Amino acid sequence: MAFFSAARTDPQHAVPDGCRVYAIGDIHGRFDLLLDLQEQIKADLEAFPPEESVEIFLGDYIDRGPDSRAVLEYLFAGEKLCDRRVCLKGNHEAVLLDVLSDPSMLPYWCGQGGSATLRSFGVAPPSGGDQRSLVTCHQALLQALSGGFEQFLRSLALSESVGHYFFVHAGIDPRRPMRAQREEDLVWIREPFLSSGRDFGFCVVHGHTPRDEVDIRPNRIDIDTRAFASGRLTCLVLEGGERRFLQTQDVAEPETVRRR
């Protein structure tokens, strides 16, 4: 089931004329929802072809859901619907990259949903903190991520800007100038970003902080709608000064988009 919202106009923020942006929130291993949303985007492109189209994935492709491997493989090797595809790094990808160089982080990662990612690659999670188990799992993981997966993870961008919109996984530190933003903030931050009412000079489109509904504020839009648990994977569509949403639905009645 799909959910479509009517377009709304933002008088302050826009993308360049002729350009359409599709920004996709946290997937967390839900390959089924990703395919559903891709079909919606494909239909949208065919019904209303833009001059230029960009697809921006906001990170957290892995963990928790059952098909992290399929999600990653699709993102780096699957059909590209738009003229350009941008894949950003989320905190879950950052942790996995840390795990690759430090096996002692495996238990922490598994506790954050990494066990599901391991299983999707056919790797058994480590049993407790036993050193031999950690080494065995780590070696199997390194082998499983060969063939393009690790290279893709290391190629992920931290942010993308289009028009008056700044796309990032978690947010920005409002206390720092943009040139001084740190990677740890871009992929991990919650406060003081979420409670900031500051006019950044652009609108931040982000995920990372799960909400039951899309959360729209004057200076930011959070499109992490708990896809791995709710079945609602959200795509923000930007064109000119208009905003609308595409969303997968596993519930009987679609929920409204909340505005504040």
Q: Is the pLDDT of residue 217 over 60?
A: yes
Tens of pLDDT, residue by residue over 223-242, are: 999 999 999 999 999 999 99
CATH topology of domain 2-90+156-251: Purple Acid Phosphatase; chain A, domain 2 (3.60.21)
Q: Is the pLDDT of residue 39 over 60?
A: yes
State the span(s) of the chain assigned CATH 3.60.21.10: 2-90+156-251
What H or E segment, with its residue span, contains residue 117?
A: helix 115-120
Alpha-carbon span 182 to 16, nearest angstrom:
27
Tens of pLDDT, residue by residue over 115-165, are: 999 999 999 999 877 899 999 999 999 999 998 999 999 999 999 999 999
Paired sense of beta strands 220-222 and 203-206, if any: parallel
pTM: 0.93
What's the pLDDT at 128? 72
